[in-house]
């Protein structure tokens, strides 16, 4: 019975909306029967589309890498070690989610102007860490809590170094957490419009800055095509990241 409920909910809230969006993108504006690819042709006719897509992928990639590095180290420390001020540090990591993001952005914008990061891609990557890092730390903290400290101790007893323990024990068991962080971080980074416009100053044009002005367009086919293109990028990025994860030594099947 539960499986039928699940597929019913999936069909109503996922399959049908996406199918309607696909249908709208391949028909004329205001019609669902007149087949036309004008929406996609007009989309790819936009001069800055591919450029903004490339910029978004590059920025998202570096944001994901920074989140993995910071989230793994901070999540491990909060989950497995006790130190003075741990509660305070844990609270500070969550503060960006509790404070208005625009207030943080305006404050950091002044600092970035002084150090030369304003109107640069590096500054955009840095500001995208503010809404993403708290989630990454939480995800990896929960992953390390589930993993426990005894798994590390087992590796040390068997003579493994800290690096080997991390590669052969922690990373394989944290794969689901890594996958969650990669997908969530890229989606959040891709959807940032206001903070990207403020820090990027119009010099760094991402897909969100190209996409959101189109929402008021009367061309429903173009909006549907743009929405599908926007939603396709996180999926392709996740597939690419999954392919890289499978290249790790512990993912290869031993041939007999």
- Quote the tokens at residue 28: 């004329």
- Lowest pLDDT segment from 2-6, 52-56, 240-244: 2-6
In a shared domain, residues 59 and 31? no
Tell me: pLDDT of 254 over 50.
no
Mean pLDDT of 142-158: 81
- 70 and 196: one domain? yes
Q: What is this structure's pTM?
A: 0.87
Overall domain count for the chain: 2
Both 28 and 93 in a single domain? no
**Contact present, 174 and 147 (Cβ < 8 Å):** yes
- 167 and 50 in a common domain: yes
What range defines the domain where residue 139 resides? 41-251
What would the mean pLDDT of 25-29 be, rounded to a whole number? 83
Q: Is residue 235 part of a domain?
A: yes
**Start-to-end Cα distance in the chain:** 42
Q: Is residue 256 part of a domain?
A: no
What gap in Å lies between CA 58 and CA 123, rounded to an integer?
13
Determine phi and psi for 142, rounding to 5 degrees. Answer: -65, -35
Dihedrals phi, psi of 71, to nearest 5 degrees: -65, -40
25 & 136 share domain: no
**What are the phi and psi torsion angles at 253 (to 5°)?**
-80, 135
């Amino acid at each position: 019975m539960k499986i039928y409920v699940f597929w019913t909910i999936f069909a109503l809230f996922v399959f049908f909306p996406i199918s309607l969006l696909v249908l709208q993108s391949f028909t004329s504006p205001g019609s669902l029967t007149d087949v036309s690819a004008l929406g996609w042709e007009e989309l790819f006719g936009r001069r800055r589309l591919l450029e903004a897509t490339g910029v978004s992928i590059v920025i998202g990639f570096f944001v994901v890498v920074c989140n993995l590095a910071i989230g793994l180290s901070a999540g491990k420390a909060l989950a497995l070690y006790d130190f003075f001020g741990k509660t305070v540090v844990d609270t500070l990591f969550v503060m960006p989610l509790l404070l208005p993001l625009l207030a943080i952005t305006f404050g950091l914008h002044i600092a970035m102007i002084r150090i030369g990061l304003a109107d640069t891609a590096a500054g955009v990557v840095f500001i995208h860490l503010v809404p993403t890092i708290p989630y990454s730390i939480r995800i990896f903290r929960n992953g390390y809590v589930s993993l426990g400290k005894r798994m590390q101790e087992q590796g040390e007893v068997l003579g493994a170094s800290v690096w080997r323990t991390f590669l052969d024990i922690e990373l394989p068991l944290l794969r689901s957490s890594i996958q969650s962080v990669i997908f969530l971080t890229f989606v959040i980074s891709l959807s940032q419009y206001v903070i990207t416009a403020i820090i990027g100053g119009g010099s760094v044009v991402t897909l969100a800055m190209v996409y959101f002005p189109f929402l008021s367009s009367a061309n429903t086919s173009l909006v549907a095509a743009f929405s599908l293109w926007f939603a396709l990028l996180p999926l392709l990025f996740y597939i690419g990241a999954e392919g890289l994860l499978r290249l790790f030594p512990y993912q290869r099947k031993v041939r007999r």
